[in-house]
A and B are shown apart, each in its own frame.
Chain A
Amino acid sequence: MQLRNLSSGSKQLSLFEHYINDIVRGKWFIAYTVLLFALIYAVLMFSFETSQAVVGVMNLVIFIVPAVGLFFTSMYYYSRREFMEFILSQPVSRTFVYFSFYMAMTLAMIFSFILGVSVPMFIQGFIPEAIKMSLWGVLLNMIFVAISLMVSVLTDDRVRGLGTVLLLWFFFTIFYDAVLTAVIIYFRDYPIEKFIPFVIAINPVDDFRISTLLSTNIAAMLGYSGAVIKHFFGRFFGVLYVTFLQSLWVIVPFLVGLWKFRKKDF
C-alpha cells in the first residue's frame, strides 16, 4: 500500500473545485446572473442621477439577493444531501466539507453579484458606487448563504427547511420594516432612537441598506434607522458599526451550522 503525501489544503481545494464546478454549471445559476444583469441594467438606464441609480439598484438587490442566497443554498444543500454521505465516507474532515460547501456557494453568489450588479454599474459610469456596492454585496451574499446553510443543516426535512428560509426572507425584507414603522409611530413620544442601534442588529438587510447609503453619502434616503445611526456614530463610525453587525451575521450562523454539521447523523 503506497501512500502519497497529500496536504489537507489540496484535498480542500479539490472538494471546493468540485462544488464550484457543480454550482456554476447549474442552469439556475446562469439564469440568475443573466436576469440580475438585465434588471440592474434596465434600472440604470432610467436613472439620471447617482442617488436615483444607487437607490434603484439597492432596492432591487435587497429583494433579490437575500431570496436567491437563501433558496439556492438550501435547495442545493438538500439536492446534495445524499451525495454528502459519499463525500463524508472519504478521508476528509467534516469541517473541511462544510467550509468547502460554504465557500463554493458564497463565491458563486458573489460572482453572480459582480457580473449582475457591479458590471452594469461600471458600464453606466457609476464607478465609485459600483465599488462600494460590490463590497457590501459581498457581505450580503456571505450573510444569506451562511443563514441558509445553517437552517438546512439544522433541519433534516426539506419542506420544513425551505419553509423556514421563506419565512426568514419574508421577515427580513417585508415584515421587519412594517413592524419597525408601527413601533416608531406608536412610541413616537418616547426616546426610542436610543434603541435603534440595537434594533437594526436584528436585520442584516437593513444593515446592508444603511452601510450602502452611508458609504455613498446619500443621506436623504437613509430612512429613520439610518439617520439615527448617522446621528449617533457619525458617518465613518456608523459604517464601521454596521459592518461589525454584518460580520456577526456571517460568523454566528456559520459557526452554529458548523457546530451542528460536526455532530450530525447522515
Chain B
Amino acid sequence: MGSVLGVSGESTLTEEEAAALRDEVVAELALVVGDRWVTAEPAILDGYAWQYLAEAATGERWMARPLAVVLPGCTEDVAEIVRHCNHKGIQFKAVSTGFGAWGAAAQPDSMVQIDLRRMDRILEIDAKNMYAVVEPYVTGNQLQTEAFSVGLNTHIAGVGGQTSVLASATSMMGQGWDGVSMSFSCRNLLGAEWVTPEGEIVRIGSFESAGRWFAGDGPGPSIRGVFRGFAGALGGLGVFTKAAVKLYPWEGPEALEVGGASPYYETEIPEHHLSALCIVDDWKGMAELGYRLGDAGIALAVSRNAPSVMGAVLTADNNEFADIYEVPFVHELYYTLVVIIQADDAEEFAYKVDVLKTILRELDGGMIANLPAHEYTYWLGRFIRTLSRRVKAKGLLKSAPGTLGLFRTFGKRYGYRKLTSSMSALLYEAVVRSGLNMRGVFRFGGTFWTAMGSLASWDNAIKGARVGAQIKKRYIDEGKFFDDGADNAWGGLYENGAYSHLEELACYDPTDDDSGANVIGYIFETNLASAEHFLSLPLNACGPQASTFFSPLCGGYQNWQLAIKNTYDPNNASEGSSYVIPDYKPGRGLRKLAGNVMSDRAEIDLTQDDL
C-alpha cells in the first residue's frame, strides 16, 4: 500500500551517513542527559518502531526506526534536546506512555525519539481547588488512585487508565466513559509547561504569574488554542512537560475494594453508587434517554457500548466471549447505555436513582443494576420485556440454554450469591477505573481502529453511528473486519450532554497483508460519509491527509494550521506526520486508494431504523 503519512518511508541518508549521524547525535545528547539515558541500540530502537496501527500508517507492521532514543529527566533537558535538534537540522518527537503509530517515526533515521518516562511524578494535588499537576508519564489510574484518597476523581480517556494524563490533555483526543461528569481531556487542561518546537519553555495559564495552576487561559487570548484543538498536535508542535488538569468530586471510598485474581477481578460497588445497564427499544429511545439524562445531570458516567464490545469486556478470553455472544438475546443488546451514579448520601442517591427510574419508565425501558433484590427483579423484568419486543418470545426461548450456561460459568466464578450483581460490578470496574477497555477491542482480531466520532449533538452522533455501521457492514461481509454485528459504536455524553460522541469501532487482524489498506479504506469511506451527511468532523479528520480532504469543506482551516506550524516551528523540527507537514502532497498510493473507495461504496439508507 505504501505510506499514507505523507512522507516517503525511505531514509534520505545512505547507511553510512545514517550511522555517522546516529553516532554523532548519541554522543551529543549524552552530554545533555548522560550516557545512560541515550541509545541507538537497534533492538531498543525497534521497541519504539513496533507500534499499534503501524499497518495502517505504513502498510507494514513496523514504523520507522528513530535515529536515537533519549530519556530526559527534566524540562530543561527536553528544551536542550529540542534546541539541539533544531541546530542539527533533525526532527524530534516525544512520547510518554505511548499508544500508536502517531508517536513514532514515519521516516527512518530522521528524528530523535524523546521518551518522557523518567518524568513520572504527580507534582501536586490541590484537593481544595480540585486540580492536579502531573508530569508526562503519570497514568490515569495512578492519578485516580491518589485523587480517590482525597475525595476526588479524574477523567480518563477511552484509551484506558494505563495511559498518560498529560498526553491526552495536551496532545491527543480525550473521549472517555466519564465525559458526562468529567468532560473531555483538553477541556480539563488548567495550564501546561510547553517546550516549543524551537526549544523555548512557555508556561501557559496562571502558573507563571501566580505560582499556582488554577486557570489555563490568559493573560489575553488562550495559548491553549494554538496547540490543542479537537485532536491535539499529536507530537507535531513541541513537547509538553507538565500539565495541570481539573479533578472532580468522588463520592466513594478512599480506595475501591477489589478482590479476585487476574483476569477475574471483582470490584465492590460502594455505598450510594449505582451501576446500571439501561435498555430502550431503538435509536429513537436512545436519543431520548441521552437527552433526558443530560438534562437531569444525575450521572457520573453514561456510556454506549455495543453487545460485542460489552461481551468482550465482561469476559476474559475469546472462548468465553463466544459462549456469551452465541446466546441469541446477547447480540441484540444494541440499545443500551451504561449509567453510573454516585451520591453524597442516601437521600441524594435515592433522588438520583428515582430520576433514572422515571426516565426509563417514560421510555418503557428497563435496567440491570445493583438494586435491592425486589427492585432488581422488577427492573430486570422490564429489561427482559423491552428486549423481548426486539427478539420476541422465540428469541428468548432460544436463549434459555445459553443463559443457563452463563449462569453456571459466572456463578462458579463469582459465587451464586453474587450472580445478580456480578455484571453490574464488572461494568462498574470497566467504566470507573477504565481498566478493561483494551480487552474489549484488541482481542477479537488482534487490533482495531475506529471511525466517525465527531463531537456533536447527541442526535447527530447517533446518526453518525448508524452511517458508520452501514459502511462497516460491507467490510465485514467482505471478510475484511471481524463480525462484531456491524454496530459497534462506542461513546457517550460530555458535560451533562452539552455535546456527545459515538465512534464506530472496527476489529481486524493486523497480520493480514491487506489489513492496512482495508482500514485506510474504511477511514476514507467513513470520512467521506461524514462530510456528505453533515456529521461534523470525525475523529479521523487528523493529519495532513484528512485535513487536505476536510479543509475545503470547513473554511480552509488547513491553511491556518500550516501558518501555525510554520510560525512556531520554522525549522520543521517537531515531527508532524500526524499533524501538519509543511509541503504535504497526497501520495499516489493514497490517491489510488481513494479512487477505489469512491468507485465502490456502501449504500447508506437512513430510513432503516436499525441494522
A and B bind: no
